């Protein structure tokens, strides 16, 4: 596999190099490639052309380390004179200051300089925290995303959003910091528990209603294959998801406008995560339920017909994602959503559908939101 060509624009979709397609993210001032295929951890070409340094640090967690850390260490040992690993505790509930400081402690005690390259090996939590640490350490060191979950491969590893959670809100402390490269080795999905795979499908499904109605139809047609981990279906789902996200990020890196559509279902979903306690619901599970609620809100705003709500409900249910929301009460939902990053002057703003394949950001009256969350708890 050769490096992605300089002439490829993000909207030109993926190009194939041997068996592995490559998608370009171009923000206008930073440019990197997403490499997608099986066996990429063992392919020397995956690591060629990365920033040179004396040291590399693998940031992973206690679940992923026994499965894949040795493979990545062996791949990097021929490139960097010293390769070390820091293992974080696993779980959304550990996406916090103490775990972040484990990374800083490791870097400082290891004498890592400003050229040290961090490799984020794991799911979204690892990627977010390693990226945050890389953006802060010595005011910025390079890092590479090596996502090992479906959710991370199609969403969180791409686009440079990094953060940790706060007790009062999810992802409220962080920064935009782009990786040097993203390596999506589809072989790492072989060890993914089925619940995590299903949670990742929520972020795959998201791209259909917000940006590509044809892709939504493809997901409906191939959902059984995706759930059965069919290699071809997963490869296409990851590639098309990355293409859509790369195009959106290329137009709006810092979420000033268009990029907000990528948060479809997330305002409701983040409220579920915070209200239930981080880790009780997986992020993708909360987003899946949140997408059903956001589609319902779209219908109540008069933007889409009730049939669209039914269609999304059926797809999410078929995927094994929750469609019934926890009964936190409308007042609690409104309180939690008021802390969302998309809120402006205290007014909550939601990603809603104008049609399948087209999303916008809108405010909504409290009484409509209350109706959505109350009905969602009774589905």
Phi, psi for residue 95 in degrees, rounded to 5: -85, 70
Confirm whether 270 is a catalytic residue.
yes
Kindly provide the residue ranges of all beta strands, DSSP E only, lying in 44-81, ordered along the sequence: 55-61
Could you say which of 87, 196, 203, 253 is catalytic? 203
Give yes or no: 236 in active site.
Answer: no
Three-class DSSP category at 16 = strand
Do the bridges between strand 82-88 and strand 55-61 make them parallel or antiparallel, or are there none, so unpaired? parallel
Annotated catalytic residue 263? yes
62: nearest Cα among 91, 35, 84 = 91
Name the active-site residue from 206, 283, 342, 349.
Answer: 283
Catalytic residue among 35, 73, 94, 161: 161
Catalytic residue among 266, 292, 341, 342: 266
181 is catalytic: no
Catalytic member of 170, 270, 341, 349: 270
Selected catalytic residue, list 196, 263, 341, 349 = 263
- The answer to whether 161 is a known catalytic residue is yes
> Of residues 245, 292, 342, 349, which has the active-site annotation?
245
**Residue 30 is a catalytic residue:** no
The residue from 29, 109, 139, 378 that is catalytic is 139
- Cα 363 to Cα 20: distance, rounded to the nearest angstrom: 42
The residue annotated as part of the active site, out of 243, 255, 273, 285, is: 255
Whether residue 255 lies in the annotated active site: yes
**What is the sign, positive or negative, of the torsion defined by CA atoms of 47, 23, 192, 203?**
positive
Closest CA to 303 of 373, 368, 220: 368
17 is catalytic: no
Is residue 266 among the annotated active site residues? Answer: yes
Residue among 38, 94, 239, 259 flagged as catalytic: 259
Tell me whether residue 61 is one of the annotated catalytic residues: no
Instruction: Give the pair of three-digit tokens for residue 23.
Output: 């998608």
For the chain, list the strands marked E by DSSP.
Answer: 15-17, 20-26, 31-37, 55-61, 82-88, 117-122, 143-147, 161-166, 169-176, 181-185, 349-355, 358-363
Residue with tokens 């990197």: 32
Q: Which residues are catalytic?
A: 139, 161, 203, 245, 255, 259, 263, 266, 270, 283
């Amino acid at each position: 596999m050769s490096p992605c060509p300089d002439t490829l624009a993000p909207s030109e979709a993926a190009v194939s190099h041997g068996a592995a397609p490559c998608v370009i993210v171009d923000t206008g001032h930073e440019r990197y490639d997403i490499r997608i295929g099986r066996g990429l951890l063992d392919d020397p070409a995956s690591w060629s052309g990365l920033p040179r340094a004396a040291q590399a640090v693998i940031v992973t967690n206690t679940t992923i380390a026994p499965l894949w850390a040795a493979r990545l260490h062996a791949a990097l040992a021929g490139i960097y004179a010293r390769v070390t690993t820091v293992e974080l505790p696993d779980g959304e509930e550990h996406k916090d200051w103490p775990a972040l400081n484990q990374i800083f402690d490791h870097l400082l005690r290891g004498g890592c300089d400003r050229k040290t390259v961090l490799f984020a090996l794991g799911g979204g939590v690892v990627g977010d925290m390693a990226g945050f640490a890389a953006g802060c350490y010595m005011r910025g060191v390079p890092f590479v995303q090596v996502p090992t979950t479906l959710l991370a491969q199609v969403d969180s590893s791409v686009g440079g959003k990094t953060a940790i959670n706060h007790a009062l809100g999810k992802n409220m402390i962080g920064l935009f910091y782009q990786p040097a490269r993203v390596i999506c080795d589809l072989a790492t999905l072989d060890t993914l528990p089925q619940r995590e795979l299903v949670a990742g499908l929520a972020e795959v499904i998201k791209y259909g209603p917000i940006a590509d109605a044809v892709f939504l139809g493809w997901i409906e047609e191939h959902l059984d294959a995706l759930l059965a981990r069919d290699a071809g279906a997963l490869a296409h789902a990851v590639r098309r998801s990355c293409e859509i996200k790369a195009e959106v990020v290329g137009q709006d890196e810092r979420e000033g406008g268009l990029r907000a559509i990528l948060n479809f279902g997330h305002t409701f979903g983040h409220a579920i995560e915070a209200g239930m306690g981080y880790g009780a619901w997986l992020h993708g599970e909360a987003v899946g339920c949140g997408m059903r609620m956001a589609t319902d809100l779209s219908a109540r705003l008069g933007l889409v017909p009730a049939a669209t709500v039914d269609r999304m409900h059926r797809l999410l249910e078929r995927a094994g994602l929750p469609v019934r929301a926890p009964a936190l009460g409308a007042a609690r939902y409104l309180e939690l959503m008021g802390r969302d990053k998309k809120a402006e002057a205290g007014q909550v703003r939601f990603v809603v559908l104008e049609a399948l394949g087209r999303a916008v950001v809108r405010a909504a009256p409290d009484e409509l939101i209350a109706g959505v969350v109350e009905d969602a708890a009774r589905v």
